[in-house]
Structure 1
Amino acid sequence: MSKTYPSIAISGIGSVTVTIIHALHQNAVPFQILCRNENRFQSLSASPIRFQGPNGKNVSVNLKSHLTKIQETKDKFDYILIGCKNQNIKEYLEETKHLLTPNGKWILIQNGIPESQFETYKNQIIGGVVGWNTQTLSNGTYYQSNVGSIILGDTSGKKPDSVWLEMLPPYLPVILTDKLAGYRWHKLAINSIINGLAAAKQVSLGELFLNKNSRREAIDTLTEIKQLINKLGIEERVVPGSFPIQKLGDGPGALPTWIRHLILLILGLKYFRIRTSMVQDLDHGRKTEIDFINGEVVKMAKGLHIPVPRNEWIVSKVKESEKLRVT
């Protein structure tokens, strides 16, 4: 007797959603991909997705039987994963809201604090904090470099349905939480340096963290966010494989300075050539999500009268680069 799963759809195909698709496919969990236009439908129909996991195994995922055009489908879904940039979430929600079942929920897997943008839909949103890195290789293969995990938290403060513990592991470990904000702010802090600071300097992680001055700037950035988190009364929750901001930022609970520099140095050596998503956006003349990472820090800090000059500098530098590069 086959297992009955909730109905799942994915709107927006990128490195994060492809990693989730791979896990669903390996576990034989049914899903549909909502194509927004004919060109996307045809391109995904034409050839399978190539995926390489952390174990080095190459998998081909044929999506042809999973595709549906968003304008034509009559199906309703219990969960719709939204795989777009922060600035496009509203458009994707409006496009798909008629496809949710009465108790259905969207899953937002973007960086930052995307749930805070949509108070109207608060009871219909699950936040997904992504703890892995997947990049597109030059041959078009999606490469997941670390196992990572996905942390799912309901914006109502409850843990999501435990069925997620069956649908994605072991390919993607799942953590269900009722402390979503703690994970969200931890991941935002990490992104503020590996994405925000790296984009401000337009360098790889190796170039960033092997430079002593840049490591000091990273610690300054994290210190500001640590102060903000503490002021907001948020209890940090550490994404598996990451490191507590409370120990990396200056102030109470901080590790000795040389150990903090060593941690960042090791990170730079491990991911030496990685140009993270916002750096790649600038490389390719695309608008970044800086407003939703370091920009979120600046916005929240301003309301609480907390100075965050390093985060302000990062936002300013990235926006300068956008003006020069984004067409």
Structure 2
Amino acid sequence: MSLILNIMRIAVIGCGGIGGVVAGILGSQESDVLCVDINKDTVKRINDRGIRLYGKKGNINTSVRAVSSIGDEEGEFDVIVITVKSMVLRDVFELNKDHLSNDGLILTLQNGIEILDIVKDFPDVKTVAGAVGYNSQIDEKGEYIVTAQGGITIGNLTTGSDEDLLRLKNIFDPGILIDINRNITGVLWSKLLIVCGVTGLGGCSGLRLGELLGHREARQLFYRVVTEGASVSKKLGIQLEKFGRAINPEKFGDHKGGYPIFARYLLLKLIGITRQNIKAGIILDIERGNRTEVDFINGAVVKAGMALGIDTTVNREIVRVVKEIEQGNRRMTKGNLLEIMELNKR
């Protein structure tokens, strides 16, 4: 911990849409924040201009330092926030865990559930996982736009205490509201299922959220995606959890206790209207020529389902279609949704 005013020393690793907002808000709240990103252009932009964000969390312009590697800095960190993509999470976790102070902790913020396997290999590293409820993207000027309001739900995965969670809450509030949940595994799975539906189907079709959820086929596939994922989580003994303002995704499934079809329709339509311009992360990755996270999102449901003998046809087909798009063998179109619907009927 910094000796000056006992300010927490925080490193934010990965300054994309989620990490940039975290760094900007914490920096504006007088935390000692260091940004770490392997993209040299991002590092230069942050050092030259600071972090600028606007939208649902207000307008913030704050000066923070940025480096390409945490090893470039002397000393240790009280909190390391890791917001990188799921496919590199394990490597980044292993590389940076030794830069924690004696009582330091890692907070991971991803769409997937990869951290649940990682902590099994590092049970002595104090690790807190979080599910992000807001949405943000980087615009053409390198500024961060928050397109949907929300906070972060956190919980301990290893040796952390309630005091550690309260410490994080005090650091983030009021800029980013923090909810604490003792069943963080259930929260992560709930977030995963929502992302499987929204991001997976968005990546197949190329449609923004409002237009996507306006199509009957997309809504029907969303129900199937969630039903498959909820079946897997139930078999694993995981109780899905409502997080933030979100609805428990199990309510969108075809299980006992799910909402009637008409209620599901109205809720998805409402989500589409209130978040109509959101573009799925998979779409952004494809447009930028980057590898997508589909193997760690819908693919995570497929992998677990195969091990348990549970059918995950729709999630499997989403993975197949997205990978064909990645490889340049298919375009993002609404027709891909119709194809998956037909395959699901067989």
| TM superposition score normalised by structure 2 | 0.86
Of 178-187 and 40-49, more deviation after overlay is shown by 40-49
User: Runs of 4 or more off by more than 4 Å in structure 1?
Assistant: 35-40, 66-69
Please give the per-residue CA displacement for 1:27-48, whole angstroms capped at 9, x wherever unaligned: 2122222354765543322222
In structure 1, the partner of 2:268 is 264
> CA distance change for structure 1 residues 299 and 69 in 2, over 3 Å: closer, same or farther?
closer
> CA distance change for structure 1 residues 35 and 292 in 2, over 3 Å: closer, same or farther?
closer
SS in 1 for 2:289: coil
Counterpart among 154, 157, 170 of residue 155 in structure 1: 157
In structure 2, the partner of 1:33 is 35
Indicate conservation of the 8 Å contact 1:17/1:83, yes or no.
yes
Distance in 1, Cα, partners of 2:21 & 2:136: 7
Distance in 2, Cα, partners of 1:62 & 1:5: 16
In structure 2, the partner of 1:88 is 88
> CA distance change for structure 1 residues 5 and 237 in 2, over 3 Å: closer, same or farther?
farther
Note the C-alpha offset of 1:94: 3.3
SS in 1 for 2:328: helix
Counterpart among 243, 250, 261 of residue 246 in structure 1: 250
Please give the per-residue CA displacement for 1:273-313, whole angstroms capped at 9, x wherever unaligned: 22111111112221110111110000111111111111111
Runs of 5+ unmatched residues, structure 2: 331-346
Question: Which amino acid is 2:144 matched to?
Answer: Y
Percent of aligned positions with the same letter in both sequences? 26
In structure 1, the partner of 2:123 is 122
In structure 1, the partner of 2:59 is 58
SS in 1 for 2:91: helix
Question: Which amino acid is 1:128 matched to?
Answer: G
Indicate conservation of the 8 Å contact 1:294/1:314, yes or no.
yes
Distance in 1, Cα, partners of 2:262 & 2:41: 52
Indicate conservation of the 8 Å contact 2:28/2:62, yes or no.
no
Please give the per-residue CA displacement for 1:46-92, whole angstroms capped at 9, x wherever unaligned: 2222111415x32211224x658533322111221112111112332
Question: How many pairs align?
Answer: 324
Counterpart among 174, 188, 201 of residue 178 in structure 2: 174
Note the C-alpha offset of 1:123: 3.3
Runs of 5+ unmatched residues, structure 1: none
| TM superposition score normalised by structure 1 | 0.91
SS in 1 for 2:52: strand
In structure 1, the partner of 2:303 is 299
Note the C-alpha offset of 1:126: 1.5
> CA distance change for structure 1 residues 41 and 246 in 2, over 3 Å: closer, same or farther?
closer
In structure 1, the partner of 2:340 is none
RMSD: 2.3
